[in-house]
Structure 1
Amino acid sequence: MASIKRYPWISHFLGSPTGYVVHLQKGTVRHQGVGQAFWYRPVNSVLSEVPVDDQELPTLFHAITRDHQDVSVQANVTYRFIDPVAVSARLDFALQPAGPGAGPAPATGKEQVATIIGQLCQSHAIDQITTTTLAQALERGVSQLRTVLTEALRADTRLASTGIEILGVQVLAVRPESDVERALQTPVREQLQAEADRAVYERRAVAVERERTISENEMASQIELATRREHLVAQEGANARRDAEEKAAAGLIQAQAAAERQGINATAEANQIRLVGEAAAAREAATMEVYAGMEQATLLALALREAAGSLPSIGNLTITPDLLSGALAGLFQNPASRVVPAAGNATASGATGRSGI
């Protein structure tokens, strides 16, 4: 921004790199350009400083669509002054402040440019929006308005004659009223909420499916364990049964062996007894054959000897007359007829002798 140092009857001006100064003295241009520095007399001089850098002008206005809906348009216009001398002649960019008692200061050049461009933008935007519905304005209004406003402002003769060049127009938003906007957002919000609910339900369904899979796996594991336990119990039972059968078979074999052993022992014992009996019988038979040819007295003597060997010790012996008479009678009988009776008498005498003891 330019700076002015004031002295009595004279002042000094020092310009800025972005301000184009026009010094008029008695209606004649004495100095002009960017970054000027000069002395001047305030009583007969007029200074105007026109910015030559790019200017940004935000604007906001309302329009009615074809279906009678109010929309607000927010735009931003970029412009610059390409002919500062013409601008200073058409618009007020004076640097001289108003003196005391001069009333309110008039509108500055920037305010005038903002009013001109804002009215032009609003006029052309309204012409465009009135031909579209609210849905079309919200859907394609930004791009359409940007094109329409850029072409209209660049082709405007007043701006061109004033020395204003439009560099660009940006339409930032085309929005309906708040109630209408909320109503328009409701279906989308409901759809998004439905999508969110569907995602939640799908997530829950996936969780339930996973839990079911886990439960099925646990149940399958339990069934597998029960099956294996059943096989183990069956195998243990089969092993116990096989063990019992083996023990029973071994016991049977042992019993059969014991029975066979007892049979063999009994047979051997019976054979032994039979052989002993046969031997004893043969000996008795041989003895009887020997005794058959012996005399009665000899047999009596042998019987007495055998009886004496088996009898206990005799302290005294009593011989009765009957025993003596019988013995004497036997001595005088025939040898052939006294063999058998002699044995009988010997037995009787032996018995009598034992009884008399």
Structure 2
Amino acid sequence: MADITRRLGRRHLRSAPTAHIRHHRRGLLVHDGPGLSFWFRALTAALSEIPVDDRELAMAFHARTSDFQDVTVQATVTYRISEPATAAARLDFSIDPDTGVWRGAPLEQISTLLTETAQQHALDVLARTSLSETLADGVASVRERISGGLAAEPRLPATGIEVVAARVVAIRPEPEVERALRTPTREQIQQEADRATYERRAVAVERERAIAENELASKIELARREERLVEQQGANARREAEESAAADAIRAEAEALRTVRLAKAQAEAARETGEARAGAQSAWLRVHGDADAATLHALAATRLAENLPRIDSVTLSPDVLTGLLAKLGGAGGERR
């Protein structure tokens, strides 16, 4: 939309580079071109704004296949106005000199023209194609037919319109038919998924079995090693007991030999001691046999004195002293 401002009873128009402006004053073309900017009077000016940029027109229409199935076609047509003067002469692109807004709806007229033309060619193709072929190859065939039909349409160049490209986005059947068509494929996909699930489970079972076998083999090997360890420990204990028994036997034999030798030595010492004592006793008896009675009495007193306990003090009571003095007095009178 052109930008129009007011200054002192005059109007100033400023357009975009993608808009072609045609300015007629009193029936004469004064300004003609894209991106113009000029002053004008509203009472004497006739303005037209024709967009010259590429525009996208999305369309959706229903069609029927050869087997009487309804489908929806979604397409997009890219076009531009290549001849602004021709388009302005065929369609109403005039704008309000006060607001810059189109007085009519030229783009809607172009959209209707392109939609009906594309729909006519698409219906012509789909009416001779079955639903299965339409869903399989219909997009390409419909796109080619629409592109060719729009290029050969004589009204478009006469209106100054050039079709740049035509694209068919999708061709869809009715929801019930689409669900029915999807069912076999879904069933097949489900079967493939189930088969993959079963195969995955089988692989998992096989792996679990391999893991269990490895664990069992590990346990068997561990038990075998424990058995070897027990056997080795038993052999070591048996060897240790045998060596300990042998050491005890050697120790007992050595102890017995030592005891025998000690007993022999003690017996020999006792024998020699007895002989010495016997000799000494014999010599003592011989000496005493040759001595007189007085000598023997003196020896006996001496031996008795040697064996008596030590006497530190002697206490004499009056009775003992009286008796002793009596005995000594009696002994003195007898000697007189």
Q: Does TM, normalized by the shorter one, top 0.5?
A: yes
Q: Please give the alpha-carbon distance, in whole angstroms, between the structure 2 residues aligned to 1:134 and 1:107.
A: 41
The residue identity in structure 1 corresponding to 2:78 is: T
Q: Counterparts of 2:44 and 2:239 in 1: how far apart (Å)? A: 138
Per-residue CA shift, 1:310-335, capped at 9, x if unaligned? xxxxxxxxxxxxxxxxxxxxxxxxxx
Amino acid aligned to 1:216: E
User: Paired residue for 2:121, among 124, 134, 137?
Assistant: 124
Which deviations, in whole Å up to 9, do the C-alpha atoms of 1:282-325 show, x marking residues without a partner?
xxxxxxxxxxxxxxxxxxxxxxxxxxxxxxxxxxxxxxxxxxxx
Which residue identity does 1:40 align to in structure 2? F
Residues in 1 aligned to 2:52 and 2:163: alpha-carbon distance in whole angstroms: 13
Is 1:162 paired with 2:197? no
5 Å matches for 1:6-45? 6=6, 10-45=10-45
Query: Which letter maps to 1:169?
Result: A
Q: Mapping of 1:303-342 within 5 angstroms?
A: none
| Superposition deviation, residue 211 in structure 1 | 1.3
Separation in structure 2 between the aligned mates of residue 16 and residue 222 of structure 1, nearest angstrom: 87
**Residues 7, 221 of structure 1: CA spacing in aligned structure 2 closer, same or farther, 3 A cutoff?**
closer
Residue number in structure 2 paired with 1:177: 174
Q: 1:240 to 1:108 in 2, by over 3 A?
A: closer
2:2 aligned residue:
2
Correspondence for 1:300: none
Q: Whole-Å Cα distance in 1 between the matches of residues 226 and 13 of structure 2?
A: 109
Q: After superposition, where does 1:49-198 map in structure 2 within 5 Å?
A: 49-96=49-96, 107-198=104-195
Q: 1:181 to 1:237 in 2, by over 3 A?
A: same
Question: Would you say how many aligned residue pairs link Structure 1 and Structure 2?
Answer: 245
Structure-1-length-normalised TM-score: 0.60
Look up the match of 2:196: 199
State whether structure 2 residue 242 is matched by structure 1 residue 216.
no
Amino acid in structure 1 at the alignment position of 2:126: I
SS across alignment from 1:219 = helix
Q: Give the 3-state SS of the residue equivalent to 1:172 in structure 2.
A: strand
SS in 2 for 1:53: coil
Secondary structure of 1:93's aligned partner: coil
Task: Note the C-alpha offset of 1:243.
Answer: 11
Report the AA paired with residue 48 of structure 2.
S
Query: Which digits, 9 at most, give the CA deviation of each residue in 1:242-266, with x for residues without a partner?
Result: 999xxxxx9xxxxxxxxxxxxxxxx
Per the alignment, do residues 97 and 65 of structure 1 end up closer, same or farther by CA in structure 2, a change over 3 Å counting?
farther
| Pair 154,240 (structure 1): closer, same or farther in 2 beyond 3 Å | same
Whole-angstrom CA distance in 2 between matches of 1:3 and 1:238? 112
Cα drift, residue 67 of structure 1: 0.9
Give the residue type in structure 1 aligned to 2:140: S
Q: What per-residue deviation string (whole Å, max 9, x for no partner) do you get for residues 221-246 of structure 1?
A: 344445556677788899999999xx
CA RMSD of aligned residues (A): 3.2
Distance 1:130 1:107, change over 3 A: farther
Q: For residues 108 and 98 of structure 1, do their structure 2 counterparts lie closer, same or farther at Cα, with a shift above 3 Å needed? A: farther
Contact persistence 2:73–2:170 (CA under 8 A): yes
Q: In 1, are the aligned partners of 2:92 and 2:104 still within 8 Å (CA)?
A: yes
What are structure 1's unaligned runs of at least 5 residues?
100-104, 245-249, 251-357
AA at the equivalent of 1:119: E
Distance (whole Å) between structure 1 residues aligned to residue 60 and residue 97 of structure 2: 31
| Cα drift, residue 106 of structure 1 | 6.8
Whole-Å Cα distance in 2 between the matches of residues 160 and 121 of structure 1? 15
Taking the aligned partners of 2:137 and 2:145, their CA distance within structure 1 comes to 12
Secondary structure in 1 matching 2:43:
helix
- More displaced 10-residue stretch of structure 1: 135-144 or 23-32: 23-32
Which amino acid in structure 2 is aligned with residue 80 of structure 1? R
Which structure: larger Rg? 1
- Once the two structures are TM-superposed, the CA of residue 7 in structure 1 deviates from its matched residue by 5.7
Task: Tell me, in whole angstroms, the C-alpha distance in 1 between the residues paired with 2:240 and 2:24.
Answer: 134
- Cα gap change, 1:241 to 1:19, in 2 (>3 Å): closer
Q: Is the 8 A contact 2:4 2:97 kept in 1?
A: no
TM-score (norm 2): 0.64
Deviation at 1:45, TM superposition (A): 2.5
Cα distance between partner residues in 1 of 2:36 and 2:98: 23
Amino acid at match of 1:67: D
Deviation of 1:107 (Å): 4.4
Q: C-alpha separation between the residues in 1 aligned to 2:186 and 2:43? A: 69
What do the CA deviations read for 1:193-214 (whole angstroms, capped 9, x no partner)? 2222222222221111111112
1:83–1:232: structure 2 CA closer, same or farther, 3 Å change rule? closer
Q: 1:171 and 1:19 mapped to 2: Cα distance? A: 28
1:319-353 CA deviation, whole Å, 9 max, x = no partner? xxxxxxxxxxxxxxxxxxxxxxxxxxxxxxxxxxx
